[in-house]
Structure 1
Amino acid sequence: MLKENQGLLVIKKENKFYLSNFTGSGGYLLITSKKKYILIEGKYEKQAQEQCKEFSIIILKDKNFVQCLREICEKNDIEELIFEENEVVYSLYKEFKKLPLKLIESENLIENKRVIKRCDEIEAIKKSCDIAQKAIKDALDEFKINMSEKTLADNIERNAKKLGVEKIDFIIVVSGKRGALPHGRPTDKKIELGELVTIDFGCIYKGYHSDITRTYGIGEVNLKLKEIYSIVKEAQQLGVSMIKPEINAKEIDKAVREYIKNRGFEEYFVHGLGHGIGIEGHEKPFLNEYESNVLKAGMVLTIEPGIYIPELGGVRIEDTILVTNNGCEILTTISKEFEEIGLC
């Protein structure tokens, strides 16, 4: 809650969208206890009129931004300016220092508010997840052995666009030995019999992200790969089963990490267990061994353990999950049972 003499300056694109519904890449928000302003170039005026109904629109024109900011603050008796410290470049900060205002740095002020999703945000994330997993399912129906990673990835993207996504966030398709690359991008490599293929896909619907990962066998795979798959699936299910309000995310990461360690694969789980998801594909809360984040109902996050063995391959399984009052709801519902594809 802002004091009467305070103004909040918002620069980060995702935070501007969260607070005003503005989707343009430029502009600034200035929020006071009594009034809200959006400061933009003229090219964004019509867009701001349509998207930012509660905001007074200020066109910068010949005035530079800092001069305009000064005038608005004087008009509203603003004495303290709160700004996003991670978004202000040093040259702009030097200009701020010339203003007759007390500067207050804030880190993650709006991001912390974004952690608990509104009902409309949850619905958009659910729709984004539905599109992502249907796009994968439909692409797998078209899959043929010796199809390239790129072709499979292109088919997933094409399906998602047909289903109405605004934008593809990312796509990972890695097979065989390349499965040991947690963030490997699809290549012209052929997906062959006896390999695993990992698909990690996220898209954006009405400004909100999805994230899902599944790993499949291409025909019959060897016992070692099946063992790795089984361990990752059990570890992932353990993590999901622990999700509930008031648990520290670090505890979930520790339990899953210990499970994989006890099965002899500790050194091959090389990333955090998960992350929040919403307006950004990776946002608070983060689930890893370093950060303490207590889960609350309304958070949306991923659980995505993986095992990656050089010269052999890898497995990752990931769901997007909503924390509820009594536990959780899994938003990505494609089966996690081991499945062999490409046999027909």
Structure 2
Amino acid sequence: MLKKNQGLFVIKKENKFYFSNFTGSGGYLFITKKNKYILIDEKYEKQAQEQCKEFSIIILKHKSFLQYLREIGEKEGIEELVFEENAVVFSLYKELKKLPFKLVESENLIESQRVIKKKFEIELIKKSCNIAQSAILSALSEFEVGMTEKELAAKIEDSSKRLGADKIDFLIVVSGKRGVLPHGRPTDKKIELGELLTIDFGCVYKGYHSDITRTYGVGDINSQLKEIYNIVKEAQNLGISMVKPGANTKDIDRVVREYISGKGYGEYFIHGLGHGIGIEGHEKPFLNWKEESILKVGMTLTIEPGIYLPEIGGVRIEDTLLVEETECEMLTTISKEFKEIKLC
């Protein structure tokens, strides 16, 4: 990944975790061809000793991190300092320019490496997905008509923590007319009969994220809501069928979008088709009309079409997938057959 005369300077929290397993919010990584260093304040020393077994620990004491970088770089024969162009703010960039190294943008070097998941990462993502979907099913088993969105969300969150989640990434619970909000947060609105209920949930397990969305009918719903549900389900199945090595993400998004448009609802599909998932809840590859990536074995991503009808309601169905040798493996497996819930 690095040339002999290059050093990689890492500050983004997720990238620090990827290389070192360090979960603290502070500190810097400096990686060369020969050695790996973590530069941290004294308060993180014990944590770094426990988490960063392959790294030499440099305590930032009496000197600035720039002075330590200079000393390490000169000792290692570094001529070029590779930095994360999407993470380094301008004020830090000006400081780095004071060093006697040529600054080189990483051009998503780290993110491109992260996109192919290692076996242990896949297992952690699977576990995170299992926790998320089990938490949803557990909460729905206690659902009652008239429960508020917040009350149902609290049950999902409590269940996920009981099942082993380290924390919640996000939790969307919207019902009725609020179903048109793709990122709507739960409110005190009561969930009533005749409405659609959308739950979009992701948690974090040992640093890895999950993401699943399901939409349910609360009792009997009208024919238009059932129609858009079936369209979204078929659109998602179409997208999933295209997930395989060599597929172009832009093409997958286009085909799914054209399917929904052909059913007369194109203008109501208002977001991208999906995204990569791993150490971040949203990471490369992205599936939308403007970005283009080629799928490879070991990528994990979501497929999540939706239709959102103002003043009526919305439907979204989302699954997390693993790209395998010839097709994909579903990492979220809750049934997508339309289900009407009253008391589950």
Aligned counterpart, 1:107: 107
Instruction: State the shift of 1:107 in Å.
Output: 2.6
Q: How do residues 27-106 of structure 1 correspond to structure 2 at under 5 angstroms?
A: 27-106=27-106
**Residue 250 of structure 2: SS of its match in structure 1?**
helix
CA distance in 1, matches of 2:201, 2:47: 30
Q: How do residues 214-293 of structure 1 correspond to structure 2 at under 5 angstroms?
A: 214-293=214-293
Conserved in 2, the CA contact under 8 Å of 1:150 and 1:186? Answer: yes
Instruction: State the shift of 1:343 in Å.
Output: 4.3
Instruction: State the shift of 1:96 in Å.
Output: 1.5
Conserved in 1, the CA contact under 8 Å of 2:321 and 2:331? Answer: yes
Aligned counterpart, 1:148: 148
Corresponding letter in the other structure for 2:83: F
Aligned counterpart, 2:201: 201
CA distance in 1, matches of 2:89, 2:294: 31
Q: Could you tell me the percent identity over the aligned residues?
A: 75
CA distance in 2, matches of 1:95, 1:253: 41
Instruction: State the shift of 1:262 in Å.
Output: 0.4
Q: How do residues 291-302 of structure 1 correspond to structure 2 at under 5 angstroms?
A: 291-302=291-302
Q: Deviations over 1:230-273 (max 9, x none)?
A: 10000001100111100101111111001000000000000000
Q: List alignment gaps of at least 5 residues for structure 1.
A: none
Corresponding letter in the other structure for 2:165: V
Q: Structure 1 stretch 71-80 or stretch 122-131: which is displaced more?
A: 71-80
Normalising by the residue count of structure 2, what TM-score does the alignment of the two structures yield? 0.99
CA distance in 1, matches of 2:91, 2:272: 35
Aligned counterpart, 2:316: 316
Aligned counterpart, 1:192: 192
CA distance in 1, matches of 2:140, 2:330: 21
Conserved in 2, the CA contact under 8 Å of 1:219 and 1:343? Answer: no
1:167 aligns with 2:174: no
CA distance in 1, matches of 2:160, 2:49: 30
CA distance in 2, matches of 1:63, 1:210: 41
Corresponding letter in the other structure for 2:305: P
Conserved in 2, the CA contact under 8 Å of 1:260 and 1:266? Answer: yes
**Residue 201 of structure 1: SS of its match in structure 2?**
strand
Aligned counterpart, 2:328: 328
**Residue 178 of structure 1: SS of its match in structure 2?**
helix
Conserved in 1, the CA contact under 8 Å of 2:143 and 2:343? Answer: no
CA distance in 2, matches of 1:6, 1:148: 55
**Residue 189 of structure 2: SS of its match in structure 1?**
coil
Alpha-carbon RMSD across the aligned residues, in angstroms, is: 0.8
Corresponding letter in the other structure for 1:193: L
The number of residue pairs the alignment matches comes to 344
CA distance in 2, matches of 1:103, 1:60: 22
**Residue 50 of structure 2: SS of its match in structure 1?**
helix
Normalising by the residue count of structure 1, what TM-score does the alignment of the two structures yield? 0.99
CA distance in 2, matches of 1:267, 1:224: 16
Conserved in 2, the CA contact under 8 Å of 1:143 and 1:152? Answer: yes
Conserved in 1, the CA contact under 8 Å of 2:142 and 2:343? Answer: no
Report the CA distance shift for 1:343/1:166 in structure 2 as closer, same or farther (over 3 A). closer
CA distance in 1, matches of 2:267, 2:4: 54
1:14 aligns with 2:1: no
CA distance in 1, matches of 2:189, 2:154: 14
**Residue 22 of structure 1: SS of its match in structure 2?**
coil
**Residue 179 of structure 1: SS of its match in structure 2?**
helix
